[in-house]
Structure 1
């Protein structure tokens, strides 16, 4: 039984972290083996707060050791990581990726480098961003940063499409083969933009932007998961990007139409199989003046 090892946060109520990522990958036909870095009652943006705790790095290592004992790592097609609860967890993930790739050299590592955003403040523990930038992102086959996280990895500001393309090229030069910018907000708030960069080219996706009273949480986790599943189906990065963009739009549309805060992942589940609306992506390149 082949599967995807998904190591990220988990909420009991709603959809964030593994609660946002696991079901869509299952709906696209994959076995998923979740390991939780933290387990909370709900996501952290509720004004009422949340309950729960982070797990130790050793908890992750023990579970991976158990998977290794039953030869499951040999059947692991991909490691997908998201929110980490401590700097030590990053080191456990680094070792996990090495073990998986040793057991199955064809396995890929997809890193969603959650290190926060300026408008939300620092939402990760000390040392996590440093370990993501110096250890996990360079060893990943695919990285899925937001604009802020890309600026940190590429070590440059991003205010224009040209700068975003240049930053992606810098990121590719550091090790990853694919960069998917899950939210490129420098291009404006009238639409929602994502950017894909590979050795074959750079592609821009654009869809309508929903004006939620409270922005849904877990969208980045959803994007990373659907894109990972697309790649494992044997699609090209461009095809997986197109499917991911269309499917995630549909989930957000369903969430908006239902006037809900939590993602309507279950209600919109057929969209992971066959998205109902299509937004063509376009290939972009550096302008001649850059």
Structure 2
């Protein structure tokens, strides 16, 4: 499998492509990483150095990949955080060009906008752009519960309303929705869930909620679920593997008392997930 991953990159720590690429490689995926920024560290530190890469430069890199004849072999285009409005045009153009030579390729979009605790943390134009242009072009999206609500102008809370919101998102274009960080009011205290919805059904998985903020964990989740689902077409299996791997990555990071994901130290959890959580079909 080959994935063209258009995301940010940092030298210190693990977010964007700096979080997604290694776990994908560890499960045997060939990744073609294209960077949208090249920062010293993620912006959560309040200070960072390095350039935003202009949309024209990002496009040039993608064109160079195309000129090497790689597009027919690309199975997935993956995108995450979009720092500026111009990057969306570059991504959508790349999706169209790859699909023109490989109609079986899919576009997986992590529509990063914010979360329930912090609200939106992207430029005001980005959520509208994602909702109106980017998500409708995607085959698979991986929003958290807050982002799902914004995309669909709904208020997902309990299982029924979250399923309805996922269906509303699927009506926009993508056939598959992975809802990360589902926090139902009736869930057991100290737990969190993920929900996958496809044409074939819907599945949910519950894990303990590890009490930490982990920048980049959503990027790892989107990457692993996309790869597992693309390989097998089995949402339940992809959900189980992804949940197992990401939970153990977070647990290792928490146990180490680290601020940055212990991405390398956790590599066996990607290659050999323990499958310790039960996935339940809910539709």
What's the RMSD between the two structures over aligned residues?
1.5
Distance in 2, matches of 1:224 and 1:4, equals 12
Q: How does 1:257-268 map to 2 (within 5 A)?
A: 257-268=255-266
Task: State the SS of the aligned residue for 1:206.
Answer: strand
Aligned twin of 1:201 = 201
Aligned twin of 2:15 = 16
Distance in 2, matches of 1:50 and 1:64, equals 26
Report whether the alignment pairs 1:250 with 2:248.
yes
Distance in 1, matches of 2:30 and 2:151, equals 31
Task: State the SS of the aligned residue for 1:238.
Answer: helix
Q: Deviation string for 1:109-167 (max 9, x for gaps)? A: 10000112343243222422111111111111100001111011221112221110110
Aligned twin of 1:283 = 281
Task: State the SS of the aligned residue for 1:179.
Answer: strand
Q: Is the 8 A contact 1:146 1:181 kept in 2?
A: yes
Aligned twin of 1:117 = 115
Mark the runs of 5 or more structure 1 residues left unpaired by the alignment. Answer: 286-290
Of 239, 242, 247, 1:241 maps to: 239
Distance in 2, matches of 1:172 and 1:119, equals 25
Distance in 2, matches of 1:87 and 1:163, equals 31
Stretches of 4+ moved more than 6 A in 1? none
Relative to the length of structure 1, the TM-score reads 0.93
Task: State the SS of the aligned residue for 2:37.
Answer: strand
Aligned twin of 1:288 = none
Q: How does 1:36-47 map to 2 (within 5 A)?
A: 36-47=35-46
Q: How does 1:52-201 map to 2 (within 5 A)?
A: 52-187=50-185, 190-201=190-201
Q: How does 1:220-239 map to 2 (within 5 A)?
A: 220-239=218-237
Relative to the length of structure 2, the TM-score reads 0.95
Distance in 2, matches of 1:107 and 1:100, equals 7
Distance in 2, matches of 1:176 and 1:133, equals 12
Distance in 1, matches of 2:57 and 2:183, equals 36
How many residue pairs match? The answer is 281
